Amino acid sequence: MKPTKLFTTIVFAVMMVFSFNAEAQEFKPLDKSPMDAASFPSSYKESNKLIKITYSRPQLKGREMSELAPTGKVWRTGANEAAELTLYTDMMLGDTKVSAGTYTFYVIPGEKEWTAIISTDLNVWGSYFYKEENDVARLKVPVSMGDESLEAFSIAFEEAKDGVHMHLGWDKVRVTVPFTK
């Protein structure tokens, strides 16, 4: 067989193998608690971010929020993997300076206040492996109640005169975590 014909045959065989594999690929359905991200500034065109959080968005689906985010227990701030917080600049959480970097963001829900926790834990599923000794900063923040119920857990950022406020909302519960410069 001529070298060019052999080469053509080999290329054709390789293409057939890859085309069969592409058709055989199975894709999973949409996750029940899809992953999402919030950042500030929130415009996708803005590349000069100050802060970003990646989290999964559980939904109530007829359940009580306290079943999914139990009062008094460390919660992963969402579903599935623990929420991952990235600060692109040094910021303050309460009186604690937090250096730019990537962290896990936990909370401890309470009836009147929640405790926001920034931890050096990374790549953590849930809050099962939470270790208090890895905390970088903690801040207690008040709970307020909104007028409308949010079915899916949600996070949004808002510019504040002293920095950026992270708003957490689920059902009618609203919590604001202030990050200052």
Q: What percent of the chain has pLDDT over 90?
A: 75
Q: What is the mean pLDDT of residues 4-29?
A: 64
Q: Position 40: which residue type?
A: F
Q: Is residue 91 classed as helix, strand or coil in its secondary structure? A: strand
Q: Which bin fits 101, alpha (ψ -120 to 50), beta or left (φ > 0)?
A: left
- What's the order of all strands across the beta sheet hosting 113-119? 35-40, 51-56, 83-87, 101-108, 113-119, 135-160, 163-180, 91-93, 96-98
- What pLDDT does residue 9 have? 61
- What pLDDT does residue 79 have? 95
- What pLDDT does residue 121 have? 93
Q: pTM for this structure?
A: 0.83
Virtual torsion, Cα 153, 159, 163, 169, nearest 10 deg: -20
DSSP designation for 70 = -
Q: Position 73: which residue type?
A: K
Phi, psi of 14 (to 5 degrees): -65, -45
- What pLDDT does residue 161 have? 92
Q: What is the mean pLDDT of residues 136-163?
A: 96
- What pLDDT does residue 146 have? 95
What's the pLDDT band for 169 if we cut at 50, 70, 90?
very high
The string of pLDDT tens digits covering residues 70-121 is 999 999 999 999 999 999 999 999 999 999 999 999 999 999 999 999 999 9
Tell me the residue ranges of DSSP E strands in the chain.
35-40, 51-56, 83-87, 91-93, 96-98, 101-108, 113-119, 135-160, 163-180
- Mean pLDDT of all residues in the chain? 90
CA-closest candidate to residue 173, choices 94, 68, 47: 68
Tokens of 73: 């227990």
The string of pLDDT tens digits covering residues 36-80 is 999 998 766 677 899 999 999 999 999 999 999 999 999 999 999
Phi, psi of 109 (to 5 degrees): -70, 145
Query: Residue 60, exposed/middle/buried by CB under 10 A (0-12, 13-18, 19+)?
Result: middle
- What pLDDT does residue 28 have? 86
H or E element that contains 15: helix 3-24
- What pLDDT does residue 149 have? 95
